Chains A and B, each alone.
Chain A
């Protein structure tokens, strides 16, 4: 069990800056994010894009802002659970919470801050009958441990870089790799595409182009995948695993089940302190909504500052909060 003062769900720019504001008030933070790296959308979707509306920076690249935020919060030693999604929260009798992640990590915190942006980035799923019933029974959306696929028959679907990269990588591990792509050509990295065509020409992988996934076969466990080609002919391929790789898209996920007031996928908050209607749970950044809300990083930073001053009373119920400037007091690491 990880014990902390504040558990922040979402390690995007606003979640990261919230650590700084908490740190000034001597509150420790643990962050949980579904993505394997910090930075949220900035790192996942547009790391090299310039941002022009961060005060004091006429222009800053998204990843640079994330890197700077990581530097800024270093004095406060935040801890992280990355690549994990918070599945469950349980209120304790003393008002604190225990959070449980998808990897069964448990975090005990006095306060929960949801800084989840647009939700968890989850794999985009193809529309196939019975897809859910085969998930974890032959269908997986990411390659966590390549050894899982040793000497297995694996079908990869998709045309992006990850489909190309995994086809190349797994060609040395799996018994057979079949890459299915909807088009005749790949738009991913030309080097990877050339390598895939080479492997196919040398019989190392099967490349099936201009084809779509049509249906799944198997009794309790996947054993075949049916494709449909341009001529509408069906092709049945034996398979132990199907890995659809169609990118990520954001989903609100389990947060929707925590009794919070939700309007159009955003959490309604009280603008006095960005608290939700549920005791000791706050929501800041793109995931919250209120009259006049602007989905801007700078607004999320502001919300983080106000919110942490409100959370202080839950972490230090016997202390009086005194407001201090960093220019006077500096940043006192812990």
Chain B
């Protein structure tokens, strides 16, 4: 199985690596939840609640473009950044290898 490694950066700039299978069609949101990161994912991955908001610190080019519905959600947030994405709309693939994310969503 192809494993992809990417990183989650906390507020202090510390990075933790996550390994995930790159060929199972999982989303970044699902992997973050499975890894016990505080991601609510209220809508379950339909790009409708924006609680899985992430900032792409490195590796933006490998992610593809955000869809209109995703951009609509991001646009409505109080704290977006130029590289904001919704983790539920990012598929885990080889292109994600080495990417760095910062979690921006509300964690209740």
A187-B72, A250-B40 in contact; A49/B77 too (CB < 8 A)? no
Per-position binary interface string of chain A over residues 241-269, scored 1 when its CB falls under 8 Å from any chain B CB and 0 otherwise: 00010110111100000000000010000
Measured in the bound complex, the distance between the Cα atoms of B68 and A159 in whole Å is 14
User: What residues of A have a CB within 8 angstroms of the CB of B79 in the complex?
Assistant: 126-127
Flag if B108 contacts A251 (CB, 8 Å): yes
Q: Report B94 CB to chain A, min CB distance, Å.
A: 30
Q: Does B50 touch A at the CB level, under 8 Å?
A: yes
Measured in the bound complex, the distance between the Cα atoms of B40 and A44 in whole Å is 16
Q: Does A160 touch B at the CB level, under 8 Å?
A: yes
Q: Does A46 touch B at the CB level, under 8 Å?
A: yes
Q: Which residue of B42, B44, B68, B78 is within 8 Å of A246 (Cβ)?
A: B78
Flag if A182 contacts B46 (CB, 8 Å): no
Q: Does B48 touch A at the CB level, under 8 Å?
A: yes
Flag if B76 contacts A49 (CB, 8 Å): no
Flag if A45 contacts B48 (CB, 8 Å): yes
Flag if A247 contacts B40 (CB, 8 Å): no
Kindly identify, within residues 244 to 298 of chain A, every residue whose CB is under 8 Å from any CB belonging to chain B.
244, 246-247, 249-252, 265, 295
Number of interface residues of A (CB under 8 A): 26
Q: Report B51 CB to chain A, min CB distance, Å.
A: 6
Per-position binary interface string of chain B over residues 75-87, scored 1 when its CB falls under 8 Å from any chain A CB and 0 otherwise: 1111110000000
Q: Report A235 CB to chain B, min CB distance, Å.
A: 18
Q: Report A266 CB to chain B, min CB distance, Å.
A: 10
Q: Does A119 touch B at the CB level, under 8 Å?
A: yes
Q: Which residue of chain A is the closest to B80 with respect to CB atoms?
A: A182
Chain B interface extent, by class: 20 to 34
User: What residues of B have a CB within 8 angstroms of the CB of A251 in the complex?
Assistant: 106, 108
User: What residues of B have a CB within 8 angstroms of the CB of A158 in the complex?
Assistant: 76
Q: Does B18 touch A at the CB level, under 8 Å?
A: no
Interface centre among B50, B75, B80 (most CB of A within 10 A): B75
Measured in the bound complex, the distance between the Cα atoms of B72 and A182 in whole Å is 13
Q: Report B21 CB to chain A, min CB distance, Å.
A: 22
User: What residues of B have a CB within 8 angstroms of the CB of A265 in the complex?
Assistant: 40, 108
Flag if A46 contacts B108 (CB, 8 Å): no
User: What residues of A have a CB within 8 angstroms of the CB of B72 in the complex?
Assistant: 160, 187
Kindly identify, within residues 217 to 248 of chain A, every residue whose CB is under 8 Å from any CB belonging to chain B.
244, 246-247
Interface residues of A (CB under 8 A from B): 41, 45-46, 49, 118-119, 124-127, 157-160, 182-183, 187, 244, 246-247, 249-252, 265, 295
Name the 5 nearest CB pairs between A and B, nearest first: A126-B78, A246-B78, A160-B76, A187-B75, A247-B76
Interface residues of B (CB under 8 A from A): 40, 42-44, 46, 48-51, 68, 71-73, 75-80, 106, 108
